[in-house]
Amino acid sequence: ILLDKKKLRNLRKRSMESCHSVSRPVATVPPTCLPTYRTLGQLIQIIEKLSETEDVHSILKKIVHDCDETSLTSTKKVLPLRLDPWSVQRLSEILARLNHSRLITMATDTDGTKNASSATSSGCSEGESSQKSQMKVAELELALKATVSQDNSQLIRKLRDLEQKCKSLQEKNKKFLEKNMELTTANRNLRDDIKKVDEENKKLQELREQNKRKANQLSRQLSQERLEKGTLELQLQELDGIRHQVAEQTKSIAALKQTIAEKDRRMELLQHRKKRRLRNSHDQLIMLNASLEEDRSLGSECSFSSSVSAGTSSLDSLQEELPLEEVQKGYRKLMKEHLKLERSTALLQTHLDCRTDPYRYKKMKTDLETELFVARCRIEQLENLLESKEGCDYSWVLEKDQLSAEKQSLLEQVQNLEMKLEESQEQIETMEFQLLEMDNSK
């Protein structure tokens, strides 16, 4: 403890006067004891307090209380305080010498006679004061032990209370740790589940992309087939228009055929009645030539019917009267007209792209109907495949389409060859007829 300079000087003077011959005895420090009174400042403070009063018990209590406060402020903990027996002895010796010096100072003021008596009394007082101080120190030790035991018991109780309070917290901590372990395991399981779900999601996305590609391919095929349907419908509409044209042309052809048939009948009648015709006059020949010219110019049914109706009554007479040479000439003229009509019909067919021929028209119609039926069947098959969505290969469909296309191409080639054969046969027949005409003309 630091003191003011004046107090320190006074204390040093007093200590030098009273305790200049004091020497510390060699003694071992007892174990488990706090070195409380070992510094010079503490000893000086104790000496000051003892020099003012004579009640040693109260002074020691104050010292112990001060030491407790200093220990609390320094460490902030309650520490057990014990006094050394060596320090107690030393304190008693210091007190005795202080009393001795005080008595010496008091003796200087009194008489000389009192000096001897004071010396004897001082010796007795020193022994009594030492005994009293020892008794008081023992009492203080007992009191300190009791207080220390009480403090220890209180601390133990507090520790037990704290342990009891901490038990609930420890249990809670254990529960929290268990819950934490459970949550960690659950988190791991959830992570594993998330990984599995991610993998499944990736697989599903791949399957979805594959299905999209297949659906796009099928939609393209369907769009192509729809376009083919549209083209077929347009072709059917064109066929309807062609039918109307063909119907009109067939009417005209039928009229021409009727005229040709009538002329053929005439030819037959003339051939059968050649033998019966012998001679005819010049006027009858002129009338016959006029009627033939009218038939050529008009070429209709009315002229022929009128001529036939007018001449039926006179045919028998004409056949008998006409000569053979004139009949042959008329027959040749009729054959020439027949050939001209056949050539004109052939030219009409070539200019109209063979649409006037009913046989060819029927063939084209049947071909288009078969193509339409095949296309519809194919569309139905593809729609059934789309509805089923089976994971099978569609290669057989493509192979089937290729084979059907090859088959159709071969059929078309066969039909073309048959048409060529028919045309060649017609040409052969015309050539034979021309040869016959040449022979007849010769």
Per-residue confidence at 37, pLDDT binned at 50, 70, 90? very low
> Could you tell me if 85 and 30 are in contact, meaning their C-beta atoms sit under 8 angstroms apart?
yes
Q: What is the pLDDT of residues 320-348, one digit of tens each?
A: 445 566 666 777 777 777 777 777 777 77
Mean pLDDT calculated for residue range 416-422:
84
Q: Is a pLDDT exceeding 60 seen at residue 307?
A: no
Question: Between 138 and 216, whose confidence is greater?
Answer: 216
* Token reading at 204: 């599903």
All structural domains of the chain with their residue ranges = 5-18+31-166, 227-382, 405-442
Question: Between 167 and 261, whose confidence is greater?
Answer: 167
Per-residue confidence at 181, pLDDT binned at 50, 70, 90? very high
Q: Is a pLDDT exceeding 80 seen at residue 238?
A: no
Mean pLDDT is lowest, of 92-96, 172-176, 229-233, 331-335, for: 92-96
Phi-psi region for residue 389, left (φ > 0), alpha (ψ -120 to 50) or beta?
left
Q: What is the pLDDT of residue 12?
A: 57
Q: What is the pLDDT of residue 180?
A: 92
Q: What is the pLDDT of residues 184-212, one digit of tens each?
A: 999 999 999 999 999 999 999 999 998 88
How far apart, in whole angstroms, are the C-alpha atoms of residue 83 and residue 178?
A: 53
- pTM here is 0.24
Q: What is the pLDDT of residue 424?
A: 82
* Token reading at 105: 């100072």
Residue 80 main-chain phi, psi, to 5 deg: -70, 135
Measured between alpha carbons, how far is residue 166 from residues 160, 211, 272, 318 in Å? 10, 66, 148, 156
Mean pLDDT calculated for residue range 240-264:
74
Identify the burial level of 356 via C-beta atoms within 10 angstroms of its C-beta, where 0-12 means exposed, 13-18 middle and 19 or more buried.
Answer: buried
Q: Which of 232, 226, 231 is nearest to 382 (CA)?
A: 226
Q: What is the dihedral of CA 273, 275, 276, 277, to 10 degrees?
A: 90
> Could you tell me if 270 and 228 are in contact, meaning their C-beta atoms sit under 8 angstroms apart?
no
Mean pLDDT is lowest, of 33-37, 171-175, 276-280, 294-298, for: 33-37
